[in-house]
Amino acid sequence: MAFLEASNVSKVYHDKQNQEIVALSNFTLSVAEREFITIIGPSGCGKSSFLFLAAGLEPLTSGVLNFNGKPVKGPDPLSAMVFQEYLLFPWKTVRENIEFGPELRRIPKVHRRETSANLIKMVGLEGFENRYPNELSGGMQQRVSIARALANTPRLILMDEPFGALDALTRETLQIELLKIWQQAKCTVLFVTHSIPEAVYLADRVVVVSKRPGKIKEVVKIDLPRPREREMFTSPRFIEYERYLKNLILEEI
């Protein structure tokens, strides 16, 4: 049984004139537990819409969407979402932001503090526990967002272009850190990106979505060894994947 399974999923929105906008149509995808899936496609093809459906933040229009063997009917404590915008509470410190979810779940303070300390160490923010978001760089704020998502020990993390607003060096650093975090947390990741090299570097499989209405155009297995090294960006196999995926996207533009 797939850990996350979408079968013929469709999503229709309505604009201010009540005109239909079909974001997804017959979208079918099976994801195994602990897979790292990246999703690429033309702008407006429904990539983010699928994440919102999988997170239970939007109702699907038709089709079947199951997570952990059950239909997705709303937000699930076993899943978490990380956005491109950091969405941190500006009046809370790094530690308090990370502990927000466990506090809502009435986890005792001693256990919340242990969880946040472990996550702060995991994402490389030791020494910044008592800083506020406006005292942090963009990359550091995104590390807090990732740690906050992990604080509820999710089995599925949905990431919507989380590194899109970062400079190239910070983005590269966080890609490396994310793979380490994924391996430690032993969770499943769905990661939307516009960067083809990023998609190849991170993924077990790359899902290519067609132009709107989005449906699966192709799923490409990335047969590169783990742990991944940055040097592989210049390897013939990596370049071959990158070229092939780029051509798939260009066919849709």
According to DSSP, the residues that pair with 192 across neighbouring strands are 39, 160
Q: How far is CA 219 from CA 14, 38, 39, 41, 205, in A?
A: 29, 10, 9, 12, 7
* Most confident residue range from 1-15, 70-84, 165-179, 237-251: 237-251
- What's this model's pTM, rounded to 2 decimal places? 0.93
Q: What is the pLDDT of residue 222?
A: 98
Contact 47, 65 (CB under 8 A): no
- DSSP letter at 210 equals P
Residue 113: pLDDT over 80: yes
Q: Rounded distance, CA 155 to CA 234, Å? A: 33
Q: What is the pLDDT of residue 53?
A: 97
Q: What is the pLDDT of residue 19?
A: 87
Residue 1: pLDDT over 80: no
Delimit the domains of the chain by residue range: 4-78+155-250, 87-153
Contact 34, 188 (CB under 8 A): yes
Strands 216-221 and 70-71 turn out to be unpaired
Length of the chain in terms of residues written: 253
Distance of CA 56 to the CA centre of its chain: 14
Q: Which two tokens stand for residue 251?
A: 């066919």
Q: pLDDT, tens digit, for every residue of 67-87? A: 999 999 999 989 999 988 888
Contact 202, 179 (CB under 8 A): yes
Residue 15's pLDDT band, with cuts at 50, 70 and 90, is confident
Q: Rounded distance, CA 192 to CA 147, Å? A: 18
Average pLDDT, the chain: 93
Q: What is the pLDDT of residue 248?
A: 96
Q: Rounded distance, CA 144 to CA 31, Å? A: 26
Q: Rounded distance, CA 85 to CA 70, Å? A: 29
Q: What is the pLDDT of residue 23?
A: 94
User: Which CATH class for the 4-78+155-250 domain?
Assistant: alpha beta
Q: Which two tokens stand for residue 253?
A: 């533009």
- Cis geometry, peptide bond prior to residue 213 (ω within 30 degrees of 0): yes
Q: pLDDT, tens digit, for every residue of 183-237? A: 988 999 999 999 999 999 999 999 999 999 999 999 999 999 999 988 999 999 9
Q: What is the pLDDT of residue 104?
A: 87
